[in-house]
Amino acid sequence: MVHQECINCKTRYDIDEIIYFCKKCGDILEIKFDFKELAQTLKTSDWKTKPLSVWRYRDFMPIHETAHVVTLNEGGTGLHRSQHLGQEVGIKEVYVKNEGENPTGSFKDRGMTVGVTKAVELGARHVICASTGNTSASLAAYAARAGIKCTVLIPSGKIAYGKLAQAMIHGAKVLQVNGNFDQSLEFVLKLAEKHKSIYLLNSINPFRIEGQKSLGFEICEQLNYEAPDRIIIPVGNAGNISAVWKGLTEFHRLGFIKKLPKMTGIQAAGSAPIAQAIKTNSDKIVPVEHPETVATAIRIGAPVSWKKAINAIRESHGTAETVTDEEILDAQKMLARIEGIFVEPASASSIAGLKKLVKNGVIAKDERVVCITTGHGLKDPDTAIKQCEKPVEVEADMLSIEQALGLKQQRVIIAR
């Protein structure tokens, strides 16, 4: 039987109980399966005939048989062999798993299709989240699809324009909080606690993590059931690294993969409590009071899923690293120019982390590495434009255009 369980004291809760924190110890929850039952279900299931997507893994999702799935066709994103990137950083085999290819342009859709399906199953009519941008964009879209009300709290002035546009056009009630993400999250936690009719869909919600674990499944399947040596992933609130690890360990336990990759989390230098805890070998994080980075998506000082993330990194013998804003922006531009993959700054932190860790000798040259890029570059056009040369203004005539291109003027012969 599938149930919810506290990650600390292991108290069990019913799968349909609306609960975000353990009533006994206050820690966060995760979904637990009966693996014998799941293995049995998979034996007779046709899951391997379904296209690569979140719902290929329907049997792994804690949703009742009768549920009406709220989907926009999420998952099934490309795993791009990136030879130029490999040459640039000095390793043989590197892939980019580009989550910007999801319906609203980020990995959040994997979690939201399951989270909003669960919300509808539970009879919720109003969903809420705090967000640095992508979660709000995704929740707004899936709530619209489900025909339910959506409220999002975002830090004022610190969210990329594309993401704000998405939340607004999908009809969410957008509250810009004069504060940062961590403060906004505290408010939505209190709101969901106080007003039981509002269903919370931040990554503290374990059903979102279930959807996001499909990212781990897909990477293994795209590599022919062989896990890579290492997965590099940007870390903010720390839900995604926990989710990918959960997926990998489930595939491992079911015997689909033989080994597990080293989970490698990358944080922006100005908001890196998890990387700090890993580097200092600490069992706790010290929250960053005023997180700052150009990668606004991961501008988070008190990640709610830090325990799960630290566990994933330690259990997998991985590591965590920080990258500066300059390294992030350089990596963003490099990836766009040598691989044709345009990602937002937070996503480029995995590429910047790869470069730094190879240079420092942490990543061996013969490792098979997958970098996850979490969101599309068009989410944040302002940051992209700021780093590039301005377009050249020309008059609307051939001469000016040829001159601007440094081409020799040629006589134009008009045939009659």
Asked if 135 is part of the footprint of ligand F0G (rule: CB under 6 A), the reply reads: yes
> What minimum distance in Å lies between the beta carbon of 375 and ligand F0G?
3
At 390, which amino acid appears?
K
> What minimum distance in Å lies between the beta carbon of 26 and ligand F0G?
21
CA dist., res. 204 & res. 238, Å (int):
10
Asked if 237 is part of the footprint of ligand F0G (rule: CB under 6 A), the reply reads: yes
> Using CB under 6 A, which of 244, 297, 313, 323 touches ligand F0G?
297
The pairs formed by 28-31 with CB atoms below 8 angstroms and a separation of 24 or more are 28/204, 28/206, 28/304, 28/305, 28/307, 28/308, 29/4, 29/5, 29/206, 30/4, 30/5, 30/206, 30/209, 30/246, 30/308, 31/2, 31/3, 31/4, 31/5, 31/62, 31/206, 31/207, 31/209, 31/210
* 53 versus 136: smaller Cβ distance to ligand F0G: 136
Coil, strand or helix at 59:
helix
Asked if 296 is part of the footprint of ligand F0G (rule: CB under 6 A), the reply reads: no
Asked if 293 is part of the footprint of ligand F0G (rule: CB under 6 A), the reply reads: no
Binding mask 105-124 for ligand F0G (x = CB under 6 A): -x------------------
> Using CB under 6 A, which of 75, 162, 234, 377 touches ligand F0G?
234
> Using CB under 6 A, which of 28, 128, 238, 335 touches ligand F0G?
238
Residue among 293, 360, 291 at smallest CA distance from 320: 360
> What minimum distance in Å lies between the beta carbon of 43 and ligand F0G?
32
* 129 versus 369: smaller Cβ distance to ligand F0G: 129
CA dist., res. 85 & res. 121, Å (int):
44
* 89 versus 274: smaller Cβ distance to ligand F0G: 274
Please identify, among the stretches 70-78, 125-133, 278-286, 406-414, the one whose residues bind ligand F0G according to the rule CB under 6 A: 125-133
What string of DSSP letters covers 97-162? Answer: EEGGGSTTSBTHHHHHHHHHHHHHHTT--EEEEE-SSHHHHHHHHHHHHHT-EEEEEEETT-S-HH
User: 208: which residues sit within 8 A by CB, 6+ positions away?
Assistant: 111, 112, 114, 115, 201, 202, 239, 243
Asked if 239 is part of the footprint of ligand F0G (rule: CB under 6 A), the reply reads: yes
> Using CB under 6 A, which of 132, 151, 184, 271 touches ligand F0G?
132
CA dist., res. 387 & res. 37, Å (int):
53
Please give the order of strands across the beta sheet that includes 126-130.
173-177, 149-155, 126-130, 198-200
Contact indicator for 375, 105 with CB cutoff of 8 Å: yes
Binding mask 366-395 for ligand F0G (x = CB under 6 A): --------xx--------------------
Name residues contacting ligand F0G, limited to 252-271 (CB under 6 A): none
Number of alpha carbons in the 13 Å side-chain half-sphere of residue 389: 3
Please identify, among the stretches 46-54, 87-95, 238-246, 256-264, the one whose residues bind ligand F0G according to the rule CB under 6 A: 238-246
> What minimum distance in Å lies between the beta carbon of 406 and ligand F0G?
38
Binding mask 65-104 for ligand F0G (x = CB under 6 A): ----------------------------------------
Please identify, among the stretches 63-71, 114-122, 229-237, 358-366, the one whose residues bind ligand F0G according to the rule CB under 6 A: 229-237
Q: What are phi and psi of 86, to 5 degrees?
A: -60, -45
> What minimum distance in Å lies between the beta carbon of 353 and ligand F0G?
12
Name residues contacting ligand F0G, limited to 336-355 (CB under 6 A): 344, 346-347
Please identify, among the stretches 129-137, 214-222, 256-264, 386-394, the one whose residues bind ligand F0G according to the rule CB under 6 A: 129-137
For strand 29-32 and strand 126-130, is the pairing parallel, antiparallel, or unpaired? unpaired
Using CB under 6 A as the criterion, which residues of the chain lie in contact with ligand F0G when the complex forms?
A: 106, 131-135, 203, 234-240, 297-298, 344, 346-347, 374-375
